[in-house]
């Protein structure tokens, strides 16, 4: 068909040969002074090279194109949800590392997520956190009350479902509220930086990672140790969140911007302190005298082991 | 072929009846789990009878009696059942979303069958708990549960690892680790 023939790339060949063929034709030298052919491959016409550049030889252009083409499946197909799990192992590790080491000035979303938000990290970090808190809380209560005559160990299985509800609600509802709020502010004040809902969920999910080792260390029945751990975890994950969302509210009214950041950090504090208070019994100081006064068989057995 | 030749009273029937054939298949898969080596048997001829039996056994033994007025007790039958099946389905969905080329039921079959070592651990713990309670009792149970947990992980990894894309193997295996860890914790903290 004539239409298909029209679509074939035309080989223009060398400038010299085409000028020799048609001396009257005008030729334009497009190549810049320092420019050299990007790929030393098979000889191609200058027209071809131009097209290659336009098609995105550049890596960033290519990823922009691909990112735009990624989520094209309708939402009722399985492929649509596969795009949210399009991460490799090293990418997940990089994102976790980024959430643990907040560098001032580096935005977590721009640096690590780069328009490829994943749901793998948030989902499994929250699942691990649920079980870490429930199991550590159970273990810590057992160790604190060890030796008490009236204490009967229970696995406290109900607390797993409570922990799951709280943590998954936090990981999804707070990003939703924040996204809605930022959308509303965006309609009033033109912000340079705006995040999609999934990117916010991603940041929140990865920022909860620091609480997994914190929950395990909360087994130590010392009040001072626990509160130091709370401060450290809050410092790290709070700063990740603050540095991520500050560029999104920076152009806004000063008070609104500060209030947003303060609310984000405050909700984070509420989550960690609430979990500490509910799942971990307070280590009372008067445990020691009671175990010394009552010579319990289990205490002596535990001490001799 | 076995159905066509079925005649209950005929002693000359050489082909096994469907029930015996199914039981033999389940037993063969149990052996594959206990001595894991890379083979396709669990994947090729998947069935869900074995996982169902194991899950029901586990749930029956782990549940607390309803006469207990302790609110914060151990899990109920339904809770154990839901955790095992919901956990297995979630892991399967996760591995498929990451791009693994294993079918839904094959993955459920493998995960269900690899609970066998942990069920054995629960039976051993139940027997050990009949003895005098104390720290040695606990250490023995801890040791048994840890060994069986490692066995489950090795068995399921041997069957599942090949169907994952190579640069996402760790992402697909970690939820399996978490799943068996939670079941091991339930077994370890079981107090009759």
pLDDT value at A221 more than 60: yes
Task: At A198, list the tokens.
Answer: 């999934």
Q: What is the pLDDT of residues B107-155, one digit of tens each?
A: 898 899 899 999 999 999 989 888 888 888 889 999 999 999 999 999 8
* A1-10: pLDDT as tens digits: 555 556 666 6
Q: Is B104 on the interface with A (CB under 8 A)?
A: no
Half-sphere CA count of A88, side-chain side, radius 13 A: 5
Residue B161 counted as domain residue: yes
Q: Do A157 and B74 touch (CB under 8 A)?
A: yes
The reply to whether residue A82 touches residue B185, judged by beta carbons under 8 angstroms, is no
Whether the per-residue pLDDT at A260 is higher than 80: the answer is yes
Do residues B168 and B99 touch, judged by C-beta distance below 8 A?
yes
A301–B74 CB contact, under 8 Å? no
Q: Looking at the predicted structure, is the pLDDT value of residue A254 above 90?
A: no
**Segment of A13-27, A110-124, B39-53 carrying the highest mean pLDDT:** A110-124
> What are the tens digits of pLDDT across the range B80-113?
888 899 999 999 999 888 888 888 888 898 899 8
Query: Mutate which of B100, B133, B171, B185 to test chain A, going by most A C-beta atoms within 10 A?
Result: B171
Chain A, window 174-193: residues with a beta carbon less than 8 angstroms from a chain B beta carbon:
none
Residue A17's pLDDT band (cuts 50, 70, 90)? low
List Cβ neighbours of B104 (8 Å cut-off, separation of 6 or more).
B92, B96
The pLDDT value given to residue B8: 53
Integer angstrom CA distances of residue B177 from A33, A64, A113, B156: 59, 36, 26, 10
Computed over its alpha carbons, how large is the radius of gyration of chain B? 19
Residues B62-66: what's their mean pLDDT? 66
* B182 contact residues in A (CB cutoff 8 A): 131
The answer as to whether B25 is a domain residue is: no
Residue B151 lies in a domain: yes
**Contact by Cβ (8 Å): A102, A242:** no
Alpha carbons within 13 A on the beta-carbon side of A174? 22
Structure-model confidence comparison of residues B107 and A104, the more confident one: B107
Q: Which residues of B touch A300 (CB under 8 A)?
A: none
The average pLDDT across A179-186 equals 88
A278 touches chain B (CB under 8 A): no
In this prediction, residues A9-33 reach a mean pLDDT of: 57
Is B73's CB within 8 Å of A81's CB? no
> In this predicted model, what pLDDT tens digit does every residue of A43-94 receive, in sequence order?
444 444 444 444 434 444 444 455 444 556 788 888 888 888 888 888 889 8
Residue B8 lies inside a defined structural domain of this protein: no
What proportions of chain B, in percent to the nearest 5, are helix, strand and coil? 70, 0, 30
**Lowest-confidence segment of A5-9, A194-198, A222-226, B59-63 by average pLDDT:** A5-9
Q: Do B73 and A154 touch (CB under 8 A)?
A: yes
Distance between CA A26 and CA A236 in Å, rounded?
64
Q: Which residues on chain A are in Cβ contact (under 8 Å) with B141?
A: none
pLDDT tens digits for range A127-136: 999 999 999 9
Quickly count: other Cβ atoms within 10 Å of residue B75's Cβ. Answer: 21
What's the number of domains chain B is made of? 1
pLDDT of residue A302: 55
Higher-pLDDT residue of A190, A52: A190
Residue B101 CA, chain-centre distance (Å), reads: 22
Which residues in chain A have their CB less than 8 angstroms from residue B101's CB? none
H or E element: which one contains B41?
helix B41-44
Q: CB-hemisphere CA count at 13 Å for B42?
A: 29
pLDDT of residue B14: 58
Nearest to A95 by CA among B171, B157, B90, B87: B171
Report B:51-90 residues touching A (Cβ under 8 A): 70-75, 79
Report the range of poorest mean pLDDT among A29-43, A236-250, B96-110: A29-43
Which ipTM was obtained for this model?
Answer: 0.83
The CA-atom distances, in angstroms, between A258 and each of A140, A189, A242 are 38, 15, 10
Whether residue A153 and residue B73 make contact (CB cut-off 8 A), yes or no, is no
Q: What is the pLDDT of residue B148?
A: 94
What residues of B are in contact with residue A159 (Cβ under 8 Å)? 72
Q: Please indicate if any CB of chain B lies within 8 Å of the CB of A73.
A: no
Judging contacts by C-beta atoms under 8 Å, the chain B residues touching residue A84 are 97
How distant is the Cα of A36 from the closest Cα of chain B, in angstroms?
A: 36
Q: Of the ranges A185-189, A214-218, A300-304, B119-123, which one carries the lowest mean pLDDT score?
A: A300-304
Residue A18 has pLDDT above 90, yes or no: no
Q: Which of A65-74, A151-160, A195-204, B111-120 has the lowest mean pLDDT?
A: A65-74
Contact A218, A280 (CB under 8 A): yes
Q: Give tens-digit pLDDT for A266-284.
A: 999 999 999 999 988 887 7
Say which of B97, B136, B191 has its CB closest to residue A85.
Answer: B97
DSSP-based three-state secondary structure for B72: coil
Does the structure show a pLDDT above 50 at A35? Answer: no
What's residue A207's pLDDT? 92
Would B36 be classed as within a structural domain?
no
Q: For chain A, what is the largest distance between any 2 Cα atoms, rounded to a whole number of angstroms?
A: 112
Does residue B40 fall inside a structural domain? Answer: no
Provide the shortest C-alpha distance from residue B1 to chain A (in Å).
38
pLDDT more than 70, % of chain A:
70
Query: Mean pLDDT, to the nearest integer, of B163-172?
Result: 87
| Inside any domain, residue B162 | yes
CB < 8 Å to B167, chain A:
88-90
Q: Is A146 on the interface with B (CB under 8 A)?
A: no
CB-based contact, A120 to chain B, within 8 Å: yes
Q: Quick one: pLDDT at residue B65?
A: 54
Higher pLDDT, B148 or A254: B148
Contacts 24+ apart (CB under 8 A), B72-75: B72/A154, B72/A155, B72/A156, B72/A157, B72/A158, B72/A159, B73/A154, B73/A155, B73/A157, B74/A154, B74/A155, B74/A157, B74/B186, B74/B189, B74/B190, B74/B191, B75/A155, B75/A157, B75/B186
Residues near B87 by beta carbon (within 8 Å), at least 6 away in sequence: B179, B182
From residue B42, alpha-carbon distances to A154, B172, B186 in Å are 37, 18, 26
Contact A153 B136 (CB under 8 A): no
Report which DSSP code applies to B101. -
Return the residue of B nearest to A303 by Cα: B135
Q: Which residue has the higher pLDDT, B32 or B150?
A: B150
Average pLDDT, chain A: 76
Q: Which residue of A has its CA nearest to B79?
A: A157
DSSP one-letter string for B109-137 = HHHHHTTHHHHHHHHHHHHHTTS--SHHH
- What integer is the mean pLDDT of A209-219? 93
Q: Which residue range is the domain that position B136 belongs to?
A: 47-62+76-190
Which residues of chain A lie closer than 8 angstroms to B175, CB-CB? Answer: 124, 127
Question: Nearest-CA distance from A35 to chain B in Å?
Answer: 37
Q: Higher confidence at residue B13 or residue A225?
A: A225
The encoded tokens of residue A256 equal: 């609104």
């Amino acid at each position: 068909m004539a239409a298909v023939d029209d679509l074939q790339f035309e080989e223009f060949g060398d400038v010299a040969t085409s000028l020799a063929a048609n001396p009257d034709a005008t030729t334009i030298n497009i190549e810049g002074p320092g420019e050299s052919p990007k790929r030393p491959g098979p000889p191609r016409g200058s027209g071809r090279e131009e097209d290659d550049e336009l098609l995105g030889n550049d890596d960033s252009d290519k990823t922009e194109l691909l990112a735009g083409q990624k989520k094209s499946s309708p939402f009722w197909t399985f492929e649509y949800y596969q795009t949210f799990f399009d991460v490799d192992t090293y990418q997940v590790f990089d994102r976790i590392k980024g959430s643990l080491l907040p560098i001032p000035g580096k935005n977590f979303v721009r640096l690590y997520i780069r328009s490829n938000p994943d749901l793998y990290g948030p989902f499994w970090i929250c699942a691990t956190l649920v079980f870490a808190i429930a199991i550590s809380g159970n273990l810590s209560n057992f160790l604190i009350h060890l030796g008490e005559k009236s204490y009967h160990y229970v696995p406290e299985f109900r607390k797993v479902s409570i922990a799951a509800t709280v943590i998954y609600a936090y990981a999804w509802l707070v990003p939703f509220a924040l996204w809605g709020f930022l959308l509303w502010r965006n309609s009033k004040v033109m912000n340079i930086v705006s995040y999609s809902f999934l990117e916010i969920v991603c940041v929140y999910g990865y920022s909860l990672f620091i609480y997994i080792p914190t929950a395990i260390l909360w087994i130590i029945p010392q009040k001072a140790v626990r509160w130091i751990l709370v401060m450290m975890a809050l410092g790290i994950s709070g700063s990740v969140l603050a540095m991520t969302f500050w560029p999104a509210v920076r152009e806004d009214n000063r008070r609104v911007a500060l209030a947003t950041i303060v609310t984000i950090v405050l909700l984070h504090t509420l989550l960690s302190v609430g979990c500490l208070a509910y799942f971990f019994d307070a280590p009372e100081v008067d445990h020691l005298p009671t175990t010394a006064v009552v010579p319990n068989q289990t205490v002596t057995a535990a001490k001799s082991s | 072929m076995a159905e066509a030749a079925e005649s209950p009273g005929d002693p000359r029937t050489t082909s096994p009846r469907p029930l015996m054939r199914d039981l033999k298949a389940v037993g063969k898969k149990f052996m594959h789990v206990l001595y894991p080596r890379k083979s396709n048997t669990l994947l090729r001829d998947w069935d869900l009878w074995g996982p169902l039996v194991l899950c029901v056994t586990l749930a029956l033994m782990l549940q607390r009696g309803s006469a207990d007025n302790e609110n914060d007790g151990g899990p109920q039958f339904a809770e154990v059942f839901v955790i095992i099946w919901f956990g297995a389905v979630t892991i399967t969905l996760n591995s498929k979303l990451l791009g693994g080329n294993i079918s839904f039921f094959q993955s459920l079959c493998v995960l269900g069958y690899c609970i066998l070592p942990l069920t054995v651990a629960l039976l051993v713990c139940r027997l050990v708990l009949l003895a005098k309670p104390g720290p040695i009792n606990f250490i023995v149970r801890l040791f048994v549960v840890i060994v069986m947990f490692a066995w489950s992980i090795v068995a399921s990894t041997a069957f599942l690892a090949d169907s994952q894309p190579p640069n996402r193997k760790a992402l697909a295996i970690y939820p399996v680790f978490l799943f068996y860890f939670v079941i091991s914790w339930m077994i370890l903290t079981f107090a009759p």
